[in-house]
Structure 1
Amino acid sequence: MKNFNVRNLLAGALILSSIGFAGCEDDTPDYNPLNLYKTYPLNELSAEAKLVRDYVKPDAVIAHRGSTFWAPEETEAAFRWARNMGADYLEIDLQRTKDGVLLALHDGNLRRTSNIESQFPGKEDYPVSYFTLTELRQLDAGAWFNIAVPENARESFKGEKISTLEEVMKISEGFRIKRIAGEPVKDMTRLSDDGQWAGYYEFEVDPQDNGNRPGIYAETKEPYLFGGMEADLAAFLTEEGWNINTTPKTIPTAPGKVDVANTKGRFILQSFSRESIVKLEKELPGVPKCMLLWEDESAGYVRPSNSIESLAEFINFSVEYNCHIAGPSIAGKPNKYADLSLPWMCEMYHRAGMIVHAYSFDTEDQLRKYNGDYFYGGVSRFDDANRTVQGDFNYDVNPNMFIDGGFTNLTDLSMKYQGRELVGTAQEVLDNLGY
């Protein structure tokens, strides 16, 4: 295949595209009518891979780290909130402790989201792999949030713990960590090699569980730091009954509630790392996978610059290793990421047979922009499935230009946008959960 360089040719069109989608006041956005992206050679997912792709729930609302806005990210509070709010998936970042426990943690160290400076002075920038689970249980992973997000602070967030993958699964299944007098109860049936508490807690049925059973959307975070993480994950999913390739357990769901955890799409794998994607395909074939995109020069990430040939190379790699989902960033506040979800890009992802789960949605304007509402006079397809294009365009306005689901820090906002039933406001759900 020839590698045509069309960056200069696209530059003007990309500028027009970004201007046209600048905000909700633009009800007739410009769009690049250039047809090169429609004919540039792309591989396509196999028929078998498309069957796996279709395990994934349409219009998925993916709770990014549970929430980074309403509760301390990747803690029990955030995941219980997202479950009861009605998210389809709980999104987590996988890392591994010194003693081999898979954790939900985003950053490369614990400085931002814990009190490690007081608990382990001088070790603030050490990676999580330096610490055992028992050591990590000494950290407060909630108090920092009350300072960082004072408008949503709650006294009860103090003392929240870093979550293990097991705990996220249990939350999805309707459980919570057992507490007595506000303190988590240690599970003394699981001890370390020296006979001491290994850092695990007991579980109990969550009395505030409302029957929703979200799936889990897990990113292998900095996998080069955790050799064998993919094999460990496969073994753990099998052990816990979440591996659809073995004998997955039945996870009862209340009628009319989210039931993703009881489907073949119960667990989605994602990574920015190509090396990790290759390993995940080897260890967990037939499980839905998302290849994340990030515009970065780092060798640790894929780098799809805003050109047709680089995006095509990314897509073809993804197809080769059965990545059923493209996970591009979106533009706009507060993150101000590079826009890798432009309409011509989404059409390329879809042409390869992939679906698009973009990140991260924090405003209604972003939801309307990337779901294409501004081509339809601001009307959402969730409000009117038969909406018609408003305006004259010299190109075909079609669903392939837009996303199929999204990561969000505000599950409540995405659900409201989709017209899904809400059980209360975000604050009321936290109140009902005892926070």
Structure 2
Amino acid sequence: MVLPTAAQAAPAHNRTAVVAHRGASAYAPENTLAAIDRAHALGITWVENDVQRTKDGALVVLHDTTLARTTNVEQVYPDRSPWNVADFTSGEIAKLDAGSWKGVEYTGARIPTLHEYLRRVDRNHQKLLMEIKSPELYPGIEGQILHQLRRDGWLDSQDVKHRLIIQSFNADSVRTLHARRPDIKTGFLGTPAVSELPAYAKFADQINPSHTTISADYVKAVHALKGPHGKPLESYTWTVNDAKTAQQVAGFGVDGIISNAPDVVRAAVGG
């Protein structure tokens, strides 16, 4: 009898990528440099972020389209409700405290520019799953992101192949990005109907749904199709923060799990 090798015997979920959602955001203020560093300290290679644009055209890393939840903008600029990112200049945003809401030890943390964020990810030898956040609010942001990635040295063949994925909830944005740089791996955030998956497979390499919307059959349907690079579509699911759910979705066969607590997920499923 021929015994299987260790690799052959390992459960499929041991190959599941673990991605730190907005950095290790269970432990440090989301989308800050501190959150990237916390993920690095935990040994997490992949980090996820969100990119938006300021009033004066700077690219910044922030999840919400308003500044209210994660900064002290209401105190610093009390008369500028609803405090939309697009209504503030990069200089104004740089004055905000984006850390103290998470704990006094993070007081003074700032919203990073995309340039600052890319430099820190690079310094930590990490990989990036980037979300283009609400691109319908920022016409042309895809080209601007590509320009910044190029300036920071992220568009050479090795980086594109091994350490960069760009995703969005906006299918038109993903399609635009793919048309501009078809070599970059792309993901669509959401759970399209199985009958619609072939259309997405023309411009997206990944279908990345909420963990509450998937099943083993859905993941199997995703894997049955090939994406624009001729490889089976992948599926990274979000946002999983406990061991039980992590083991469940890993059992469905997902390729990646995006988590605020990536160390918890890694301990549960490997990866």
TM category, shorter: 0.7 to 0.9
Q: What displacement does 1:419 show?
A: 4.4
For residues 54-73 of structure 1, what are the structure 2 equivalents within 5 Å? Answer: 59-73=16-30
Distance 1:280 1:213 in 2: 24
> 1:90 and 2:50 equivalent?
no
> 1:165 and 2:114 equivalent?
yes
Superposed CA deviations along residues 32-89 of structure 1, whole A, max 9, x for unmatched, are: xxxxxxxxxxxxxxxxxxxxxxxxxx52211100033111111111111112212221
Name the aligned partner's letter for residue 347 of structure 1: K
TM-score between both structures, scaled by the size of structure 2: 0.87
1:403 aligns to what SS in structure 2? coil
Distance 1:406 1:119 in 2: 37
Could you list the runs of 5+ residues in structure 1 that have no partner in the other structure? 1-57, 147-154, 175-211, 249-261, 295-303, 305-309, 332-338, 373-400, 421-435
- How many correspondences in the alignment? 251
Could you list the runs of 5+ residues in structure 2 that have no partner in the other structure? 1-14, 226-231
Report the equivalent of 1:354.
233
Report the equivalent of 1:134.
91
Contact 2:160 2:183 in 1 (8 A): no
Distance 2:153 2:140 in 1: 20
Q: Which of 199, 206, 217 pairs up with 1:317? A: 199
1:144 aligns to what SS in structure 2? coil
Name the aligned partner's letter for residue 170 of structure 1: R
Report the equivalent of 1:370.
249
Q: What displacement does 1:242 show?
A: 0.2
Distance 2:84 2:199 in 1: 30
For residues 24-39 of structure 1, what are the structure 2 equivalents within 5 Å? Answer: none
Superposed CA deviations along residues 90-133 of structure 1, whole A, max 9, x for unmatched, are: 10111011222111111110110000111111224232111111
Distance 1:122 1:83 in 2: 38
> 1:284 and 2:181 equivalent?
yes
Contact 1:244 1:287 in 2 (8 A): no
Distance 1:273 1:371 in 2: 26
For residues 91-130 of structure 1, what are the structure 2 equivalents within 5 Å? Answer: 91-130=48-87
Distance 1:138 1:108 in 2: 17
1:100 aligns to what SS in structure 2? coil
2:38 aligns to what SS in structure 1? helix
Deviating 4+ runs (over 3 angstroms)? none
Distance 2:53 2:114 in 1: 10
Report the equivalent of 1:28.
none
Distance 1:88 1:59 in 2: 12
Contact 1:66 1:82 in 2 (8 A): yes
Percent identity reads 31
Contact 1:265 1:288 in 2 (8 A): no
2:67 aligns to what SS in structure 1? coil
Distance 1:320 1:404 in 2: 19
Higher radius of gyration, 1 or 2: 1
Report the equivalent of 1:201.
none
For residues 329-340 of structure 1, what are the structure 2 equivalents within 5 Å? Answer: 329-331=210-212, 339=213
1:418–1:217 Cα change, 3 Å = same
Report the equivalent of 2:268.
417
Q: What displacement does 1:281 show?
A: 0.8
1:95 aligns to what SS in structure 2? strand
Contact 1:265 1:287 in 2 (8 A): no
Root-mean-square deviation (CA), in Å?
1.7
Q: Which of 235, 255, 258 pairs up with 1:404? A: 255
For residues 215-364 of structure 1, what are the structure 2 equivalents within 5 Å? Answer: 215-244=127-156, 264-293=161-190, 304=192, 310-313=193-196, 315-321=197-203, 323-331=204-212, 339=213, 341-352=214-225, 353-364=232-243
